[in-house]
Amino acid sequence: MNHKVPIRIDGRFRLGDVLGSGSYAVVYHARNIIKDDAVAIKLESITAQPSSVQRKYAILKRLEGGVGIPCALWFGRESTYHALVLGLLGPSLHDLFLAHDRKFSLHTVVNLGIQLLSRLEYIHSNNYVHCNIKPQNVLVGLGHLKHTAFIIDFGIAKEYWDTATRVHIPFRQNQRLTGTPAFASINNHLGVDLGRHDDLESLTYMLIYLLRGSLPWLTSDDEKLSSSSILEHKVNTTIEVLCDGIPVEFASVLIYTRSLAFSEDPDYGRLCSLLCGLQATLAAPSTCSLDISMPDNHITRHPPISNEHWMAEAAPCLPDATPLRRSTRVSHQRAASPMHPTALRKKPLVAGSRC
């Protein structure tokens, strides 16, 4: 069922262009006419029951205040839609990756890794597992937050309780994979209940993907492979092959995350130390700032919204950096140890970004 999309939400947010869409909702650029600032608004038909947008709002409120957590400004009903008003963010890593010819510099990937480890530690410390870490779900901020990576889309996030507080059922009732096969942990493919280590495993696949430009279980022409064939490739690809030609630290992180049990507390500080150790060897300045932006010739995702648009009667209908260093290659012996022994400096992680 298609409904006319309202031109204003809660009387104060004027709807603009579409920024993106997911399975249930469409995200619009909008303007707060009272404060004169830009926001993003997610609209979902009220026929969606239960409302995924309402659930996302509740989770964002629980995580409110964390660095790199989108700001949830308002949730309510407008006409025949549930509306979630969010702080406006910039492009996703996916958009940026495509705009940069499918490769990020080592410096960028390491910085992303350090920031996102910190985000996951924060989310996990609030008893949530994200369950869908992938380049489409990481957005960079705008303006003074342009060096901050934000994690979005808590649509399939689940509450995490360890076995001390709850009897742990090892297999999900619905054993189908949750999230995105390319970046899913092996446990996820197997239908095992997801824990904090699964987010870390997905993050590691994502970092390797951004560094190498692809993953061995993806085809070059973006052909959609079945989840079972991705699983088969994933299990049959050795870590040595997966991390061939990239610094050994990524193999160490993956070996460690795969070795964690469901209720084991991940040592985020150790993982972060590994990446910080690697960062210190790079020629680029030792800072966690992200040096990725849309190339100048790229069409901006957030075009200014024209007056004509605001005057329109109704909006359209909703349809139902540094070169890769090859010096520190993965060697068989080093990849075999869970952690690179030279990089085990412990650093406490604070909530949100450490940099």
Interface ranges with ligand ATP (CB under 6 A): 19-25, 27, 40, 42, 52, 70, 86, 88-89, 92, 136, 152-153, 155
Cβ 210 to ligand ATP shortest distance, Å: 16
Tokens representing 123? Answer: 């989310």
CA distances, 197 to each of 130, 208, 329 (Å): 11, 17, 25
Cβ 302 to ligand ATP shortest distance, Å: 8
In the complex with ligand ATP, which residue's Cβ is closer, 21 or 32? 21
Tokens representing 193? Answer: 């209940």
Cβ 44 to ligand ATP shortest distance, Å: 7
Give residue for tokens 């870490």.
Answer: 133
The annotation status of 42 as a binding-site residue, yes or no, is: yes
Longest dimension (CA), the chain: 67
Residue with smallest beta-carbon separation from ligand ATP: 22
In the complex with ligand ATP, which residue's Cβ is closer, 75 or 268? 75
In the complex with ligand ATP, which residue's Cβ is closer, 170 or 295? 295
Cβ 26 to ligand ATP shortest distance, Å: 7
Tokens representing 187? Answer: 């446990």
Cβ 91 to ligand ATP shortest distance, Å: 7
In the complex with ligand ATP, which residue's Cβ is closer, 167 or 299? 299
- In the chain, DSSP finds a helix count (H) and a strand count (E) of 11, 10
Q: What residue spans of the chain are helical by DSSP H?
A: 52-62, 93-99, 106-125, 186-190, 196-212, 227-236, 239-242, 248-259, 268-280, 307-311, 332-336
In the complex with ligand ATP, which residue's Cβ is closer, 42 or 212? 42
In the complex with ligand ATP, which residue's Cβ is closer, 209 or 256? 209
The residues, ordered by sequence, that sit 6+ positions from 173 with a Cβ below 8 Å of its Cβ are none
Residue 276 identity (one-letter amino acid): C
Helix (H) or strand (E) holding 38: strand 37-45
Cβ 68 to ligand ATP shortest distance, Å: 12
Question: Which is nearest to 200 in space by CA: 255, 120, 94?
Answer: 120
Binding residues for ATP: 42
Known binding-site residue numbers: 42
